[in-house]
Amino acid sequence: RAMENTSLPSLMQMPQNSLQYQVVTILLVLLICGVGIAGNIMVVLVVLKTKHMRTPTNCYLVSLAIADLIVLLAAGLPNITESVAATWVYGYTGCLFITYLQYLGINASSCSITAFTIERYIAICHPIKAQFICTVSRAKKIIAFVWAFTSVYCVMWFFLLDIKEVLYADGVRVACDYKVSRNHYLPIYFLDFTIYYVIPLFLATVLYGLIARILFLNPIPTTPQDTERMGNNSIHQGRSSNTIKMSCHRNKNVTKMLAVVVILFALLWMPYRTIVVVNSFMNPPYLNTWFLLFCRMSIYLNSAVNPVIYNLMSQKFRAAFKKLCKCKQTRAEKPTWKAPTVSETIRNKDRPPPRTPPQYHSLD
């Protein structure tokens, strides 16, 4: 590889981030990444450990959680050392693999959101087809394809990056940067922007609009069984109607939760996506330190906030999270069985059996 070595004509001091910037960066990254890493791990665990949580939608949420974990680990944590040291400390190999993982997590996250949006549309707007299309096995195949596609797509970053050194009066500053001028990356920027931001949001806008029309304006039976029950005689029509209402209510709650995930994805990614596009045309690019920090924190927050949304808006996830948190405590407090002694056994045999009150059976 060729390492670019640049020296400044005048002996300038190496630029350092202010103490205020370093403190704010460290605190925000540790807080957001800590909450996000713990939350996304919990999402993966509750879906894998709880049988009734293994639904097609939750499979996509597991894929999203894994992608968000990669973003937080590969993008969030290295940001601490970079802000403190004001230089790249992970070398050439770290430059390639960390950048690759960052884009892998970002792109897989976007694809997972698109996948569960399409799955929700089919499940609600085409309920009969959904019985054969929206299955866990099919969801796993789609997730495998998503990760395979994004893994191959992101390989290009191994050939686009390099380490650059700038000599200063008091040392050398190392940066993980592009091999050639930023202008040569315009096609990649816009391809990335289109595939992983514009298209997912366009699909989400259209599909959630169709879903809202069905759920909130023109409710329909959500399963073939519900449709069949509607044709039964009048004795069962009341119970059938309640079943359909409950199913529709569940679908509304799930759809609202996923819609919030998509809206936050759009809002929190907008600053970064916008500055990348704008800087592609500006010379010199806009590189305000605090604004770039805001863009990064928005990305990390997007990867950390989803488990919080699930906990607030999904009763099933909330119960599963509580059960997971109490699991170790319950095991520790579980009483151990103690075998009775010989004398206790003899005393129990001598005692008369307790009187049993008469049993009354309910007619319900």
**CATH code (residue 200):** 1.20.1070.10
Q: Is 322 a domain residue?
A: yes
Q: What residues make up the domain containing 174?
A: 19-220+247-326
Lowest mean pLDDT, pick from 132-136, 144-148, 212-216: 212-216
Q: What is the pLDDT of residues 100-115, one digit of tens each?
A: 999 999 999 999 999 9
Q: Is 1 a domain residue?
A: no
Q: Is 93 a domain residue?
A: yes
CA angle at 151 for the pair 54 and 207, rounded to the nearest 5°: 55
Q: Is 199 a domain residue?
A: yes
Helix 56-71 and helix 136-153: axis angle, to 10°? Answer: 30
* Total tally of structural domains belonging to the chain: 1
pLDDT band at 222 (very low <50, low <70, confident <90, very high): very low
Q: What pLDDT sits at residue 82?
A: 86
From CA 289, how far away is CA 279, in angstroms rounded? 14
Q: Is 175 a domain residue?
A: yes
Residue type, 170: D
Q: Is 25 a domain residue?
A: yes
pLDDT band at 360 (very low <50, low <70, confident <90, very high): very low
Print the SS3 string covering the chain: CCCEEEECCCCCCCCCCCHHHHHHHHHHHHHHHHHHHHHHHHHHHHHHHCHHHCCHHHHHHHHHHHHHHHHHHHHHHHHHHHHHHCCCCCHHHHHHHHHHHHHHHHHHHHHHHHHHHHHHHHHHHCHHHHHHHCCHHHHHHHHHHHHHHHHHHHHHHHHCEEEEEEEECCEEEEEEEECCCHHHHHHHHHHHHHHHHHHHHHHHHHHHHHHHHHHHHCCCCCCHHHHHHCCCCHHHHHHHHHHHHHHHHHHHHHHHHHHHHHHHHHHHHHHHHHHHHHHCCCCCCCCCHHHHHHHHHHHHHHHHHHHHHHHHHCHHHHHHHHHHHHHHHHHHHCCCCCCCCHHHHHHHHHCCCCCCCCCCCCCC
Q: What pLDDT sits at residue 89?
A: 92
Per the CB < 8 A criterion, the answer to whether 301 and 268 are in contact is yes
Token readout for 300 is 């990390």
From CA 182, how far away is CA 185, in angstroms rounded? 6
On the question of pLDDT at 24 being above 50, the answer is: yes
Per the CB < 8 A criterion, the answer to whether 66 and 44 are in contact is yes
On the question of pLDDT at 357 being above 70, the answer is: no
pTM for the full predicted model:
0.82
Q: Is 7 a domain residue?
A: no
327 vs 128, higher pLDDT: 128
pLDDT band at 316 (very low <50, low <70, confident <90, very high): very high
From CA 164, how far away is CA 88, in angstroms rounded? 9
Q: Is 8 a domain residue?
A: no
